[in-house]
Structure 1
Amino acid sequence: MAYRLLPMTRLGLVPYQSKLSKLFQQVNRLLREGGKVYQVQQKCFVKTERFPEGHYLFPGSLLVESETQLTDCVTDLVEGGIEPYIAPLCLKRKIAFLNGKNCAAFCSEPFFAFFAAYGLDVDEISDQQVRDGVLKDYDLLIVPGGPDAGESYYEGLGEQGYDQIRSFVEAGGGYLGSCAGSYFPLSAPVGSAAGNVWLNMIPVTDVQGLDYWRTGTGFVRIQFNDTTHPVTYGLAFGVPSTLDVIYWEGPAFQLLDGNNVKVIASYQDFLASGCEPPSWDIGSNEIAVEAMKWLNPLTRERFARHLEGKPAIIEAEYGRGKMILLSPHAEFGTCGASPTMEDNPNYLLLMNSLYYLSRGM
């Protein structure tokens, strides 16, 4: 069988695909309409139209049926022989986005921009809908950041809403959290007030409990611990592999038990903040500009004390469900280095996470 190949390899700063939004709009439309899309799962050497002498493909590259028409993307043709190295790409159709009380607009609106850029159909749901059991109609739940360490979600959801979220994931639902949405499922430190307002679902904590103010806001570098994990596809290429992200007082995960928890990426370096401004132009990303104005800037000393070497992205299991928890804000885009927000590479962390959470559910 012949396939049309969409290479997704990241070599240095130059990706094969410069218009990621156009590519994923088409891929996600195909998936929504029942079309077939495949993803390379392991490195393979194949002959293509562009490289008839043979060429390595790396995990994350996408393939569609050869007759599929695509625009604004770099494509190639593969004449069979690749089947042992690929698997169908999946995307669950029923995705919910919690936009309830205390879900801050400055965290929710960047997610809406991501959904629009990648052509995703996502339903906003309220606290009351969660309390009333609406999650039974969904496959994936996204919980954004907020103005604290996740505790203020209790005001809108209460015990009934918390039980609904736990039951949803336990029954096989997928959960994607960002910043406060990643504090939310953690287990509280012994004696912490977080014991009453976190979900206490997984054997991971932040030893500082609700004290998100201890760190601050800035630009940081994360390093992928597992460059083979599907969440890293198109972003990681060998070991070591790093990515620069916007951090905004997110959790410093500490694993209490290694069972059912995987570390995907860890904090490596402090790059810049309002008290140590970047040396490059960040004007292409308004969120990055605002981050440098935040009244609680991250410092090198606080980064070294609270974040350096700590997990930044983790995968956890709860019952039959999976969770991907991001401490930094992938939805905020890059640290000002991307030419356009819709095509910034950090959106790939979110898209990869949704694809991964759609597997086997």
Structure 2
Amino acid sequence: MPVSYLISLDERSSDRTGGGDQAAIRLINRLLAEGVPVQWAQEEILAGERSYPAGTFFLSLPFKIESKIPCDVIVLWLEQQARREGLLCIQKTAEQLSTRSIALVPPRIALFYDHTTYDNALMHFLAFRGMGFEAALVNAEDLLQDDDDPDSILARSNVFVMPGGSMHFSSFASEEEALQGLENIRRFIYKGGGYIGVCAGATEALMGNPHPDLNIVDASYRADWFESRDAIAGDWEWRSLIGPLYLEIVNPSHPIMFGYSQGSPSLSSGPLVRMDYFGGPSIF
């Protein structure tokens, strides 16, 4: 008899902390770490009298994993963890699911960290580890390793994260080394690696950036906000915009925003998504 478990981030936890999404992601990462095949639905799922939005995660029984732990033991643990976390987002169905989906690959994160990232990198590191992601701290010297070397940090990662801070690529000992490090990151991205840039890490990816950075995103930023000391002109206006923002997801089918469905009542999963803004440049 086919059995599937669906994990949707569109529903909230029943606990008072509202941490249902993060708890669900922790469970998914634990499953992936054990080699459990978890799928990511690319279209709506119909199961019984209920529909689940695109972006829902699911696993179907039976499955076999390398450790040879029986799948019924795995799902018993999953049910126990869901009850312990107070999760409402895990549902069981006796139907065989047939939908277009992608098999998840465990994220292996390379997180840049040195004096230019201040405390930002460490806060990212703790947040990633808290949700069960594998993350390694790397520096400029690590980025000089050729990604064709299987022992290099980029070869062992599938996501590179550049946090906020100041002029990260000034950390290289010379301009020649900076150009080599930038080229290695570009090659990593062009070969399928993911890039996440936060604040300064985002501007360093822009083609409209006046500095010789990555230049991989066709966008620019409001550099004039940094040039004037006149509050009316905007220099100090962006610094005062610190706090929670609610973003409207206008294209939830875009690969970057996929999984944030329209019409959801949850502020964590669209169409309004909360983001904590700490004063950074406006990208356009």
Cα distance in 2 between the residues matched to 1:249 and 1:18: 25
Cα distance in 2 between the residues matched to 1:101 and 1:200: 23
Structure showing greater radius of gyration is: 2
Cα distance in 2 between the residues matched to 1:167 and 1:125: 17
Name the count of aligned residue pairs: 234
8 Å contact kept, 1:186–1:201: yes
Label 1:164 to 1:211 Cα distance change in 2 as closer, same or farther (>3 A): farther
TM score, norm. by length of structure 2: 0.71
Cα distance in 1 between the residues matched to 2:58 and 2:258: 14
8 Å contact kept, 1:21–1:118: yes
Label 1:137 to 1:63 Cα distance change in 2 as closer, same or farther (>3 A): closer
Please name the residue that 2:50 is paired with. Answer: 55
Matched letter for residue 99 of structure 1: Y
Please name the residue that 2:3 is paired with. Answer: 2
The equivalent position to 2:275 in structure 1, one of 212, 228, 245, is: 245
Please name the residue that 1:143 is paired with. Answer: 162
Please name the residue that 1:208 is paired with. Answer: 223
8 Å contact kept, 1:29–1:119: yes
Please name the residue that 2:206 is paired with. Answer: 186
8 Å contact kept, 1:227–1:238: no
Q: Secondary structure at the match of 2:207?
A: coil
Deviation string, structure 1 residues 320-341 (Cα, Å, up to 9, x no partner):
xxxxxxxxxxxxxxxxxxxxxx
Structure 2: 5+ residue stretches without partners: 62-71, 147-151, 173-177, 228-234, 265-269
Cα distance in 2 between the residues matched to 1:127 and 1:144: 14
Structure 1: 5+ residue stretches without partners: 48-53, 255-361
Label 1:159 to 1:244 Cα distance change in 2 as closer, same or farther (>3 A): same
Deviation, structure 1 residue 43: 1.9
Q: Greater CA deviation, 233-242 or 244-253?
A: 233-242
Q: Please list, as runs of the form range in 1=range in 2, the aligned pairs for 1:40-119 lying within 5 A after superposition.
A: 40-47=41-48, 54-66=49-61, 67=72, 68-69=75-76, 70=78, 71-72=81-82, 73-74=87-88, 75-92=90-107, 94-105=108-119, 107-119=120-132
Matched letter for residue 238 of structure 1: G
The equivalent position to 1:195 in structure 2, one of 184, 188, 211, is: 211
The equivalent position to 2:181 in structure 1, one of 161, 165, 190, is: 161
Deviation, structure 1 residue 223: 1.1
The equivalent position to 2:192 in structure 1, one of 165, 169, 172, is: 172
8 Å contact kept, 2:41–2:99: no
Deviation, structure 1 residue 251: 3.3
Deviation, structure 1 residue 125: 0.7
8 Å contact kept, 1:44–1:85: no
8 Å contact kept, 1:2–1:79: yes
Could you say what the CA RMSD is over the residues aligned between the two structures, in angstroms? 2.8
8 Å contact kept, 1:8–1:15: no
Which structure's residues are more often strand, by fraction?
1
Label 1:130 to 1:23 Cα distance change in 2 as closer, same or farther (>3 A): same
8 Å contact kept, 1:9–1:15: no
Label 1:183 to 1:242 Cα distance change in 2 as closer, same or farther (>3 A): same
Q: Greater CA deviation, 66-75 or 166-175?
A: 66-75
Deviation, structure 1 residue 81: 4.1
Q: Secondary structure at the match of 1:127?
A: coil
8 Å contact kept, 1:162–1:199: yes
8 Å contact kept, 1:25–1:118: yes
8 Å contact kept, 2:222–2:281: no
Deviation, structure 1 residue 163: 2.2
Matched letter for residue 9 of structure 1: D
Cα distance in 2 between the residues matched to 1:131 and 1:115: 24
Matched letter for residue 162 of structure 1: L
Deviation, structure 1 residue 209: 6.7
8 Å contact kept, 1:236–1:242: no
Cα distance in 1 between the residues matched to 2:255 and 2:183: 29
Q: Secondary structure at the match of 1:26?
A: helix
